[in-house]
């Protein structure tokens, strides 16, 4: 059944940046579907948003499970007839990097960790976006936001004066660089349509991945995703942003 309300689906949204993005979009009147591998945690997160008067519901969803992609597409088609906003938020970092210290895993990262990282952070994102794109095309102004990282910037990684020059988790960084390439290529393919595709760097945030040493609170970390998910018609596409400022590729 088609509906006029805006609908967003966010992967990995039962906690951290995903949940904060859901809260931010919900406060703008968007109906948010919380994707969570742990169904119980997803329901708990949705319940918390509902208590605040927001429209939210949980969807059991494993981003690496292609059957879940198909089930989600069928659910969105039946319930809403389209998808307005896709936020590819779920991601992993398996190298155990301590971002408060210099590190470089390039010669030590295992092939297993490299493949697992790319499967979640890149291949699953491409597959899910391709599956949901027909529904996003049905929206008046579709928005696709992929959670990248400043650590995906080749420009900054190759500059010895850059603040991230001595922070090199190879599998994680390379997966985010690849994700940025997907943003650029998909935005070019969708040029001339109302759909906008962008990569978001949320910042170094106090999350399970970011750690306690991170300078930003989760409440700040969700702002970039919300901004890019609600861009006006004259907003940018094919870009890489943090709090409205472009980052170098």
Terminal-residue alpha carbon distance, the chain? 41
| Token code pair at residue 34 | 């919380």
Residues belonging to the active site: 172, 176
Neighbouring-strand partners of residue 56: 32
- The DSSP-derived string for 46-100 is HHHHHHTT--EEEEE--TT-HHHHHHHHHHHHHHTSS-SEEEE------S---TT
Q: Of the candidates 31, 36, 23, 2, which has an alpha carbon nearest to the alpha carbon of residue 135?
A: 2
Give the separation between CA 132 and CA 195, rounded to whole angstroms: 13
**Distance from CA of residue 189 to its chain's centroid?**
20
Give the separation between CA 35 and CA 20, rounded to whole angstroms: 13
Residue 14 and residue 44 in contact, taking contact as beta carbons nearer than 8 Å: yes
């Amino acid at each position: 059944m088609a509906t006029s309300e805006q609908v967003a689906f966010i992967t990995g949204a039962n906690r951290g940046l995903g949940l904060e993005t859901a809260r931010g979009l919900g406060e703008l009147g968007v109906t948010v579907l919380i994707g969570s591998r742990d169904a119980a945690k997803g329901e708990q997160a949705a319940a918390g948003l509902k208590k605040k008067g927001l429209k939210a519901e949980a969807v059991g969803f494993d981003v690496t499970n292609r059957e879940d992609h198909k089930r989600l597409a069928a659910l969105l088609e039946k319930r809403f007839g389209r998808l307005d906003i896709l936020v590819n938020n779920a991601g992993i970092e398996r190298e155990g990097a301590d971002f408060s210290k210099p590190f470089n895993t390039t010669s030590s990262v295992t092939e297993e960790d490299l493949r697992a990282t790319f499967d979640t952070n890149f291949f699953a994102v491409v597959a899910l976006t391709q599956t949901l794109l027909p529904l996003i095309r049905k929206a008046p102004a579709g928005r696709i936001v992929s959670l990248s990282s400043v650590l995906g910037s080749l420009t900054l990684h190759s500059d010895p004066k850059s603040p991230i020059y001595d922070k090199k988790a190879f599998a994680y960084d390379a997966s985010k660089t690849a994700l940025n390439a997907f943003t650029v290529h998909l935005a070019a393919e969708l040029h001339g349509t109302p759909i906008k595709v962008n990569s978001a760097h949320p910042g170094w945030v106090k999350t399970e991945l970011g750690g306690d040493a991170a300078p930003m609170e989760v409440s700040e970390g969700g702002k970039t995703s919300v901004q890019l998910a609600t861009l006006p018609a004259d907003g940018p596409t094919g870009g890489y942003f943090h709090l409205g400022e472009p980052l170098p590729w």
